[in-house]
Amino acid sequence: MQIYKVGGAVRDRLLGKPVTDIDWVVVGASTEEMLAQGYRPVGADFPVFLHPKSGEEYALARTERKSGSGYGGFTFHASPEVTLEEDLIRRDLTINAMAEDDQQNLTDPYHGQRDLEDRILRHVSPAFAEDPLRVLRVARFAARYAELGFTVAPETLELMRQLSESGELQALTAERSWKEISRALMEDQPQVFIEVLRQCGALKVLMPEVDALFGVPQPEIHHPEIDSGIHTLSVLEQSALHKQPLTVRWACLLHDLGKGLTPKEEWPRHIAHEHTGLKLIKAVNERFKAPKDCQELALLVGQYHTHGHRALELKASTLLELLQSFDVYRRPQRFEEFIIACEMDARGRKGLEQRSYPQADYLRGAANEARGVAVQPLLEKGLKGPELGEALKRERLKALKAYKEAYTS
């Protein structure tokens, strides 16, 4: 029995990056031997065991054969005869197909170290094209290592293109797709993930609503970058630069989908794109079964982001309606994330990345004013039910009018 550290742990050590997760492969052992040494079995599909002391996962070296469609369409074979090289060749990228023993002696049959040095993301074997999830994984790695200058090898991009055209991407489950998408959006350069998906044709399969934005012009006076797709990538980039949470990044990606529906004869204007885009945002949310908080914020940002930009011009009554829509009294964090998404939208424009956004503080102040209206005096007047609600609304409107007047005077 020989045990090797494999995959990401080896890759990141060689890159000088922190190693978080460690994968272990056991060569030359049987299930019975693992059990005899106290390893606990997990995983129904192939032999994986938990170390009796550390609890880390150890997998028997295995080969795999395509037996169906999608991510799960594989038959695995694990036995003591499977070599380390046979196990490594089934992996996605050369930089993930390296192993090292407990003395840090490197096994690198597919030249992963060379590709690390050349900053290339390259598939290990033609079997890469058997797993559609790898399209998303490679795009995610491209986003993760873009800052180091990594690019996808042309021949790998071509395989990704073939996968995108094969119909295999549709076999991916919403859960598996969302796991990759959400992880990619939390990388330092998530816009690269979208760019790579677009380059290989996967974006128009997975998110045709986002793909449709490219080539759609916007008024240059507001959008020096002009192209709606490029603007979306820039907004997403800003959200990552400012270390925003997944909810904000997802909303930034989807906020302008309505512009893809604007008839060409109306370009570059996009009247009411906030409302026309809602059905598209809802469709993307449901397609990937995004978490509820991501879904809600994306829809609210899509509908109200232009309200955010025009905050200083809004009538007090419109401002109150906006605050009510977000339920700022019980869910203040959601409104804060809306404000941030609006600011990322304003900054995601060519040459305007450093612009100030006074609307943010104005909206925060308005929310505080509305929340500050006391309920107790109204209760003491004997108001309850709908009467109480209307009275509270009137008091909040009065507070917002005073706030607006003081702010603009």
State the pLDDT at residue 75.
Answer: 64
- CATH 3.30.420.40, applies to 1-111: no
State the pLDDT at residue 88.
Answer: 96
How far apart CA 97 and CA 112 sit, in angstroms, is 7
State the pLDDT at residue 209.
Answer: 98
Tell me which amino acid residue 11 is.
Answer: R
Alpha-helical segments (H) within 288-373: 292-309, 316-326, 332-347, 358-371
Q: Global pTM?
A: 0.92
pLDDT at 44 over 80: no
Which tokens sit at 360?
């943010």
pLDDT, tens digit, 9 for 90 and up, residues 343-400: 999 999 999 999 999 999 999 999 999 999 999 999 988 888 999 999 999 999 999 9
pLDDT at 97 over 90: yes
Kindly report whether the peptide bond that precedes residue 268 is cis, defined as omega within 30 degrees of 0: yes
pLDDT, tens digit, 9 for 90 and up, residues 283-316: 999 999 999 999 999 999 999 999 999 999 999 9
How far apart CA 291 and CA 285 sit, in angstroms, is 8
> Span 201-216, mean pLDDT?
98
Percent of the chain residues past pLDDT 90, beyond the cut: 87
pLDDT at 77 over 90: no
Beta pairing, strands 99-100 & 74-78: unpaired
Which tokens sit at 306?
């232009």
Give, in degrees to the nearest 5, the angle at Cα 208 between 231 and 284.
90
> Span 38-58, mean pLDDT?
86
* Mean predicted lDDT score pLDDT of the chain: 94
Provide the 10 A C-beta neighbour count for residue 103.
5
Helix (H, G, I), strand (E, B) or coil at 384: coil
195 Cα distance to chain centroid: 13
How far apart CA 165 and CA 283 sit, in angstroms, is 22
Name the band, by pLDDT with cuts 50, 70 and 90, for residue 46: low
pLDDT at 231 over 60: yes
Domain assignments of the chain as residue spans, ordered by start: 1-111
Provide the 10 A C-beta neighbour count for residue 211.
19
State the pLDDT at residue 118.
Answer: 98
> Span 83-97, mean pLDDT?
95
How far apart CA 169 and CA 174 sit, in angstroms, is 11
How far apart CA 60 and CA 23 sit, in angstroms, is 11
> Span 46-54, mean pLDDT?
88
Radius of gyration of the CA atoms of the chain, in A: 26
Name the band, by pLDDT with cuts 50, 70 and 90, for residue 21: confident
> Span 185-198, mean pLDDT?
98
Asked if residues 235 and 348 have their Cβ atoms less than 8 Å apart, the reply is: yes
More confident residue, 382 or 192: 192
